[in-house]
Structure 1
Amino acid sequence: MNSHLGIDTGTTTQHHDPGNQLGEEYENTPVPPHARKGFPSIAAVWFGFPMNLGNAVFGGVIVFNLGLINGLIALLLGNLVLFGYVGALSYIAGETGRSFSLQAATTFGTRGRMIVTGFLSTVVIGWFSFQIGLTGTTMRDALGWAPIVGAAIAAVAFTALTTVGIRALSLLGMIATPLFVVLGAVALVYGATGNGLTADDVVHYQGSGTALTFGAAVGIVIAGFADSGTMTADFTRWSKTGKSAVAATFTAFPVSNFVAYAMGGLVVAVGGSTDPGANGGGFLGLLTGHSTALTIIAVVFVFANLGSVGTHCLYNGAVGWSGITNRTMRPVAIVLGVFGGAIALTGVWSYFLDWLNILGIFVPPIGAVLITDQLILRRRSAPSPRLRTSAFVAWIAGAAVATASHYFVRESVDALVGIVIAVAVFWVYEKVSAGASAVTASRSSDVVSA
């Protein structure tokens, strides 16, 4: 038991409260073996998260700038990087049952983890607000609703679902994913109708944008899940084993995430987007105006799809802040839900997107340090200091070099740069420190012997 924080970073189980009808979430202790869930449940949590309208928009923008073939290659490469990165962090979570906050305590220190966890848990609330705002504007564009109406409904519904816990995330994934695939296919048919394009025309679509380089496109894919991907342990700690956690991650990266981006790219390639440079492959507008039934289904789809993203982000934030405050997840989720909803209703959310994507530069080095510490150096159960200097030095170095790369090396994949630098700096720092400690211990021993 950590006396400073009042949390258990070992394997002690947390007793189930019979009065808690929604079930224990194990915010401040590792998930015990008896509470772990099967592969289908965890896979549903992860594959339902990336398959969303926002990713379709970005997929369309990427294909508009790079063309279909080069765009799809960029999407695949970005997803493979995410699989390696998120998969490694998920393996640690499945093996230990620890949330991201507990993982961070081991690597960044019992006090240092508050900085890392607080940073990421706040970032994901920004994404939660974005999904609420996006729901409002999507309903306005599709049905003429006042944006504040759709946003208010979304804020209440997404927060309520999050308080149900991990089970709600799994259920939403099972609903949102098939809806996305089916309605995306319908939208493609409507988008291609009357354009006179052949299959060959679509395959050889070259695009006409110039804003993105290939490296920047790969970076967008990585940045889109840099934050929740780094906090994957909040989901995959429920897996029965590390291998099962990795398998669940694979259903999201590359499978689900690639499909979502590629669907948007295809909408642009078939001529289904009126303004692909700005709206990318967003396809909701292609589904409305045909029949009342399809319009109703499209509305349900919006709330299920964006709700899946919003609840995942709020769950990440709530579990993270629960770890910091040593509180349970549900009341924290309500407080954060009110806060995020208030931000969305002010309209400030519309300014978040560029800032949040820039965080793809600053977030991946955090995960890189965790992976190096707990997989390469295998320090998963060593006593944690209050603050591990080497971890913060590596994080800062990775973020700094990635930032420089972003501004001065146009073709670079910033997230990869940050990951490589953070791993190198942390590994060298730890090895040099270990060597220095060994020398000091040897000299002390010699003095005592003399």
Structure 2
Amino acid sequence: MSAPPDSARPPGTSDPSVPPSRSAQLADEFEDRPVPPAHRRSLLSVSSVWFGFPMVLTNAVFGGVIVYSLGFARGMLAILLGCLILGGYVGALSYLAGRTGNTFARVAVITFGTRGARLASGFLATVVIGWFAFQVGLTGATLNTALGWNTEVTVLVAGVLYVAVAYAGIRALAVIGWIAAPLYLVLGGVAITLALRDSGPGSVLSYGGQAPAGGALTFGACVTMVVAGFIDSGTMTADFTRWSRNGREAVLAALTAFPLANLLALIVGAVIVGAGAAADPGSAGGNFLGLLTDHHSGLLTSAAVIFVFVNLGSVSAHCLYNAAVGWSQLTGATMRRLVLIIGALGLIVALAGVWEHFETWLTLLGVFVPPIGSVLITDQLLLRRLAEARPDGPVLRFSALAAWAGGAAVAAFVHYEGPQYCEAVAGLLAGAALYLAAERLVSGSRTPHRPERT
């Protein structure tokens, strides 16, 4: 089945098959049609967009909380499992994006129908605004704790800077990715070196976890934390990997982030907590900024400040880009106009203190988002021939929507009744199984009855 038909070009819009000038390239993000072959980007360029995304201080927090709850050995197992699940999930969705050049919203039309895709895309494009607001708020909270900076002023300045990066488009995301990833690795390495001054690698490896009895996260909850941390933008990976030259390069670009970059970022926080160097491992996990600023080195403190803005700015800009591209499909407005509108809304939410509720946010993501991607993967990869033979233009595909709802219901049940298990994985598997069952019922009901021969 071909990709959803392109909308007619507005008057004055250049033919996308003709390579435009440099200024035109910067002005067109192709949010309303497939990225033309002439505008596709190299594997290195697309990888830089994804690789730098998980290299974020939030992952150090998550990695530390997980190790604090489970101990180093079991914590690392949960981290590795979560990263591998994300790698398979995002890689499969990226293949579809690189093959078609379409955004998530346009890819989803095939599976969910025109209006059904609007529900899925609208939901994801909305929840990802929460991550933008979370990271902007975290910038102010982090620098307030480490250096005493005014939280509200810092949040306001950070928000304006991050909106500017997203406004510049995919090129700016690639550039900030190239800066954010090496900076995280270098300063994360410095923090680990400082943390290991009073304890050796052996003490880290033998760390058993010190969460209070009854207050520790379960193994399944820790795997969910890893998966939920990037499940929303991971589901919308097409907004980034549609720029790949083909499906294979899109998968390779996604794999640089999951499991590779995501695993490295989580390990830093895990080691900080394992070494006993975290100030508040129960809530702040492996946040290592304090290790960099407590030594009263002007150079190290300056580097830490730059790191916070670049690091959290990278993931904030990515999330805002996701939100703007998604909502551009729903409203018809340009991506850049929506960056300004959504950015202002996210900034207001950040000033309201949204970063204090990240555990509730992760639960929401871990329950409702995974079935969306698993239904889409099942339809367009496992049942590819049926999807390609399907007539264009269904308004709602009830089998896909029902499988999404059913998968989310199973995930919610696991969250409340079986917290020792991973609700994100439960939602993934349930969504796929329910969709396969629904499609079998639908196809069976459409098969004409043939009377037996006598």
Matched with 1:201 is 203
**Secondary structure of 1:171's aligned partner:** helix
Matched with 1:391 is 400
Q: Is the 8 A contact 1:90 1:242 kept in 2?
A: yes
Supply the AA of the counterpart residue of 1:290. H
Query: Does 2:262 align with 1:260?
Result: no
**Secondary structure of 2:55's aligned partner:** coil
Q: Distance in 2 between matches of 1:199 and 1:225?
A: 29
Shift of 1:6: 4.5
CA deviation profile, 1:72-99 (whole Å, cap 9, x unmatched)? 1110011111111111000010111110
Q: 1:356 to 1:199 in 2, by over 3 A?
A: closer
Q: Distance in 1 between matches of 2:357 and 2:414?
A: 24
Counterpart selection for 1:111 from 95, 110, 115: 115
Shift of 1:381: 7.5
Q: Distance in 2 between matches of 1:311 and 1:3?
A: 28
CA deviation profile, 1:86-124 (whole Å, cap 9, x unmatched)? 110000101111100001111111111111111000000
Counterpart selection for 1:222 from 216, 223, 227: 227
Q: Distance in 2 between matches of 1:125 and 1:56?
A: 21
Query: Does 2:378 align with 1:372?
Result: yes
Q: Please provide the CA RMSD for this pair.
A: 2.2
Q: Distance in 1 between matches of 2:382 and 2:3?
A: 25
Shift of 1:243: 0.9
Shift of 1:287: 0.5
Query: Does 2:193 align with 1:189?
Result: yes
CA deviation profile, 1:148-172 (whole Å, cap 9, x unmatched)? 1110111100001101111111111
Q: 1:205 to 1:352 in 2, by over 3 A?
A: closer
CA deviation profile, 1:174-203 (whole Å, cap 9, x unmatched)? 10011101101111122232x3x2322221
Query: Does 2:304 align with 1:302?
Result: no
Matched with 1:231 is 236
Query: Does 2:321 align with 1:312?
Result: no
Matched with 2:12 is none
Q: Which structure 1 residue ranges, 5 or more long, are not aligned?
A: none
**Secondary structure of 1:124's aligned partner:** helix
Q: Is the 8 A contact 2:374 2:428 kept in 1?
A: yes
Q: Distance in 1 between matches of 2:256 and 2:413?
A: 33
Q: Which structure 2 residue ranges, 5 or more long, are not aligned?
A: 10-14
Shift of 1:16: 6.9
**Secondary structure of 1:215's aligned partner:** helix
**Secondary structure of 1:76's aligned partner:** helix
Shift of 1:15: 6.6
Matched with 1:160 is 164
Counterpart selection for 1:342 from 338, 348, 352: 348
Shift of 1:229: 0.6
Matched with 2:296 is 290
- Higher mean displacement: 346-355 or 295-304: 346-355
Kindly report which structure 2 residues correspond to 1:407-418, keeping only aligned pairs within 5 A, or say none: 407-418=416-427
Kindly report which structure 2 residues correspond to 1:274-289, keeping only aligned pairs within 5 A, or say none: 274-288=279-293, 289=295
Provide the TM-score with structure 2 as the length reference.
Answer: 0.92
Which structure 1 residue ranges, 4+ long, deviate > 6 Å from structure 2?
A: 1-5, 14-17
Provide the TM-score with structure 1 as the length reference.
Answer: 0.93
Q: Is the 8 A contact 2:62 2:286 kept in 1?
A: yes
Supply the AA of the counterpart residue of 2:271. L
Shift of 1:419: 1.0
Q: Distance in 2 between matches of 1:125 and 1:94?
A: 25
Matched with 2:337 is 331
Q: Distance in 1 between matches of 2:254 and 2:302?
A: 32
Q: 1:404 to 1:140 in 2, by over 3 A?
A: same
Q: 1:349 to 1:212 in 2, by over 3 A?
A: closer
Q: Distance in 1 between matches of 2:275 and 2:334?
A: 48
Q: Is the 8 A contact 1:66 1:212 kept in 2?
A: yes
- Report how many aligned residue pairs link the two structures: 438
Supply the AA of the counterpart residue of 2:440. K
Q: 1:3 to 1:202 in 2, by over 3 A?
A: closer
Matched with 2:174 is 170
Q: Distance in 1 between matches of 2:389 and 2:336?
A: 28
Q: 1:290 to 1:275 in 2, by over 3 A?
A: same
Query: Does 2:65 align with 1:64?
Result: no
Supply the AA of the counterpart residue of 1:240. R
Q: 1:25 to 1:381 in 2, by over 3 A?
A: farther
CA deviation profile, 1:392-414 (whole Å, cap 9, x unmatched)? 10001000011111111132111
Q: 1:102 to 1:7 in 2, by over 3 A?
A: farther
CA deviation profile, 1:348-398 (whole Å, cap 9, x unmatched)? 443354224432111000001100111111125841301110011000100
Matched with 1:73 is 77
- Higher mean displacement: 354-363 or 174-183: 354-363
Percent of paired sites with the same residue: 50
